[in-house]
Structure 1
Amino acid sequence: MKVDYSDMVEKGLFTFFVIRFLRLYFDTPTRFPEQDKILKRAWLAVIPLFLLASLPGLKFINEWYYEVFVLVGAYFIYKARYNRNTRTLFTAVLPVVIMIFINTFFEYVFPSFYKDYDEIFGTAYGFSFFWMIGFGFYANKQNKVEQQQRQKAEEERIRNEAKKQELEYQVAERTAELTRQKNELEETIAELKATQNQLVQAEKMASLGELTAGIAHEIQNPLNFVNNFSELSVELAKELQEELDREAQDKDLIVDLVSDLVQNQEKINHHGKRAASIVKGMLQHSRTSTGQKEETDMNDLADEYLRLSYHGLRAKDKTFNADFKTHLDPKVPKVRIIPQDFGRVLLNLFNNGFYAVQQKARMGIDGYKPLVEVRTELVEKDKEIVIKVTDNGTGIPESVRNKIFQPFFTTKPTGQGTGLGLSLAFDIITKGHGGTLEVNSKEGEGTEFVITIPVG
């Protein structure tokens, strides 16, 4: 058995470089790692093939090696022709495949013709190989460009994926931060609401404290009347009893005594009801508002709270003295309001008015007479009730006039005001009763608060 080693080396190198070319061309190490392991060692199959070709009857293996190798390669390239680069490579191999079939056909079917034109067939065969090599280089170059593009696209995809992950991380981190801030904000709002409720209650209790002295003064008057008329009624009853015990009764005297007793009882009843209404008003003021509107006489409410405010300040400061006046329109009808809330509004405005005139009185201005007035008016055309609370006190500086309805804003010294009175008053009038609360003031001359509420 004689082996042509030079031919074996030649075909082995040919096989090695072709397989290497295909591995690089199709990037099998990356795209098809399992198949690449087989391709990497496929060229070693040349050795057993050449050993077989030395055996009798198997020499065709050696003679047809290139043709068979090309045909097998062309078949696999054809199977993968749907890829653009593979189609280009198939175009490079196709002429060689055609020439193999032509040469084989003429060599075995028309041998004499094949021998006569052997040189032409050889030239065409060689040209097809050069075509394959040239087109193969072109296809390889094209493939490298596309591989670079794919690599760039993959790098871009990786960068985008990294950016996406980073953005997702940042979004998740930011979402967690926003959730934390939201929870903290909700807790803060809840605390603020609780604090606000406490401050509102404190403001109510403070105004109730200011009312106490005024209520004590106001309730004392009807109680004095009740006591006086009760004592007088006792004396009249005794006198009536004595007259009834006599045998000679004076009927005219008895009638007069009974008439006086009835009048006294009516007066006792009237002043008792007056005292009861004052106590009821105090209880309503201290009680948490139910939000239920009731038919209320606005003139009575304004008059009552003006007097309570004045006497409350007089009880706190014996040196304080001011005049107050009411101008109550008798045409003002009863209106549906929340009396506890509306009373707090009026009390706050009256207290502020008396405070302002008190501060101005302390300036020692000659001829100054402190005055707080309340005026009610029915504006039939607009179907509105207008309540004006006016004082001739210090007035409100223009620089702070726009802030007086803001929560916690006060012009009073620390400890003398919560800054919630006017803020609550504004909300009660505008939100609770669908009205308006406005202020007109001139620094050094006085202030006027105007409440407007709809009738009906």
Structure 2
Amino acid sequence: MDKVQEDWIVKNKELKRLLEIRTLELEKSLKNCQELQEQLLLQEKLASLGQLSAGIAHEIKNPINFINNFSELSIEYVEEIAEELKKLEQNDTITEINELLQDIKANLEKTLQHGKRADGIVKSMLMHSRGGQGEFVPTNLNTLLKEFVNLAFHGMRAGKNPINVSFVWDLDPELGQVAIIAEDFSRVIVNLCNNAFDAMRSKFNSEMDKEEKSSYQPVLKIRTSQDKNKVTIEIEDNGAGIPEPILNRILEPFFTTKKGKEGTGLGLSITHDILKAHNGTLAITSKEGEFTKFEITLPPISSTL
């Protein structure tokens, strides 16, 4: 009888152990399911926000066109008035009017300059928000990089906890046009820049929390180069870096180290998929606490088309 009781006790303990393990597994699965639901909900909200932003950008584009068109027209009027004044007898009054006209022209040119800059930002937003037709089109890669790095930077500056970032540009002037789907590739640039800004913000906040005054300055380096076999883009930040155990997982869908609803874990995964569709590659090198470098390689234009 004692032997039977001992066996039952042993089996009971084993069942309890297995039950505890199974309970922990179920709790973990439930937690993962809840996190996935939250991420999908956030992704849906982001998609809706993207549609709203595209609508706002489209509405802003019309008044910007009026500003640019009337600025150009007013500059022409000022130049015509200045030409007519040259035909008159010159005196102090004419000289003063000419000086005023030059000031007005300078102001109009500055208005036009910033109007065109705003128009460029709006065009970039519209391109980024709408889906492409899946067609590879020869595109000036250097120009595209400048536009969307700038868009990502201003998006970061308009969000929570903005930081100042210095840019180092090392663009190959001989690069020319590369065949890409611009609407998709713009997402690659924005996603990689956003990751870089997050890493630099994290390091900046850590440095600010230290008792000793820090001289840390966030710097983002953008390089392009080419040879007969490939086109290379490098985006390198001097942020917090990526711990080695995490480095092999960051391209997994829904993998994120951000807390709560700050990240979906989809940015780098989508980036990787877009680059694969371009027959490209994405290599990541990083040293924790020092830097992270994203290196994109694309086939030359002749092999992409």
What is the TM-score when the length of structure 1 is the normalising length?
0.46
Once the two structures are superposed, residues 171-198 of structure 1 have per-residue CA deviations (whole angstroms, 9 ceiling, x without a partner) of xxxxxxxxxxxxxxxxxxxxxxxx9998
What is aligned with 1:407?
253
C-alpha distance after superposition, 1:268-287 (max 9, x if no partner):
87765554443222111111
Corresponding residue for 2:10? none
Q: Distance in 2 between matches of 1:367 and 1:406?
A: 35
- Correspondence for 2:262: 416
One of 187, 204, 222 as aligned partner of 1:374:
222
Measure how far apart 1:347 and its partner are. Answer: 0.3
Cα 1:447–1:345 shift into 2, 3 Å: same
Q: Distance in 2 between matches of 1:271 and 1:423?
A: 35
Contact 1:211-1:312 at 8 Å conserved across structures:
no
Give the counterpart of 1:452 among 272, 293, 297: 297
Give matches, 1:358-397, under 5 Å.
358-364=201-207, 366-378=214-226, 380-382=227-229, 384-397=230-243
Residue deviations 1:316-345 (CA, integer Å, cap 9, x gap): 246522212221110112011000110001
Match of 1:130 in 2: none
Q: What is the match of residue 439 of structure 1?
A: 284
Distance in 1 separating the partners of 2:174 and 2:76? 41
- 8 Å CA contact 1:328–1:377 kept in 2: the answer is yes
- 2:149 is the counterpart of 1:320: no
Percent identity for Structure 1 against Structure 2: 38
Q: Tell me the distance in 2 between the aligned counterparts of 1:249 and 1:196.
A: 74
CA distance in 2, matches of 1:325, 1:407: 31
1:332 and 2:180 aligned: no
Amino acid at match of 1:419: G
Cα gap change, 1:436 to 1:278, in 2 (>3 Å): same
Does the C-alpha gap of structure 1 residues 292 and 196 become closer, same or farther in structure 2, counting only changes over 3 Å? farther
- Cα shift readout 1:224-248 (whole Å, capped 9, x = no counterpart): x95995697388268449739x8x5
Cα distance in 2 for partners of 1:207, 1:449 equals 25
Amino acid aligned to 1:452: T
What pairs with 1:23-42 in structure 2 (closer than 5 Å)?
none
**More helix as a share of residues:** 1
Instruction: Supply the distance in 2 between the matched residues of 1:437 and 1:291 (Cα, whole angstroms).
Output: 20
Pick which of 288-297 and 262-271 moved more: 262-271
Deviation at 1:288, TM superposition (A): 1.9
More strand per residue = 2
Report the Cα offset of residue 356 of structure 1: 0.4
Q: How does 1:78-89 map to 2 (within 5 A)?
A: none
- The 8 Å contact of residues 74 and 108 in structure 2, kept in 1 or not, is answered as no
- Aligned residue identity for 1:295: P
> In 2 relative to 1, CA 395–204 (structure 1 residues): closer, same or farther, beyond 3 Å?
farther
Query: Residues 282 and 434 (structure 1 numbering): CA distance in 2 closer, same or farther, change over 3 Å?
Result: same
- In structure 1, the gaps of 5 or more residues are 1-194
Matches of 2:55 and 2:258, distance apart in 1: 21
Q: CA RMSD in A?
A: 4.3
CA separation in 1, counterparts of 2:52 and 2:221?
23
8 Å contact kept, 1:377–1:387: yes
> How far apart, in 1, do the equivalents of 2:52 and 2:248 lie?
29
User: Conserved in 2, the CA contact under 8 Å of 1:388 and 1:448?
Assistant: yes
Q: Distance in 1 between matches of 2:140 and 2:269?
A: 24
Q: Report matched runs for 1:300-315 at 5 Å.
A: 300-315=143-158
Larger radius of gyration: 1
Partner of 2:33: none
Q: Which amino acid aligns with 1:413?
A: K
Instruction: Report the TM-score when normalising by structure 2.
Output: 0.66
Contact 1:210/1:313 (CA < 8 Å) preserved in 2? no
**Shift in Å, 1:249:** 6.1
SS of equivalent to 1:288:
coil
User: 2:145 aligned with 1:297, yes or no?
Assistant: no
Residues 437 and 211 (structure 1 numbering): CA distance in 2 closer, same or farther, change over 3 Å? farther
Gaps of 5+ in 2: 1-37
Q: Which amino acid aligns with 1:405?
A: L
Aligned pairs, number? 246
1:363 counterpart SS class: helix
Alpha-carbon distance change, 319 to 421 in structure 1, aligned in 2, over 3 angstroms: closer
Structure 1 residue 199: deviation in Å? 7.4
Superposed CA deviations along residues 400-456 of structure 1, whole A, max 9, x for unmatched, are 1111111100111111111111001000001x1001011001111110011000012
Match of residue 78, structure 2, among 219, 227, 236: 236
Identify the residue that residue 123 of structure 2 maps to in structure 1.
280
Q: Secondary structure at the match of 2:248?
A: helix
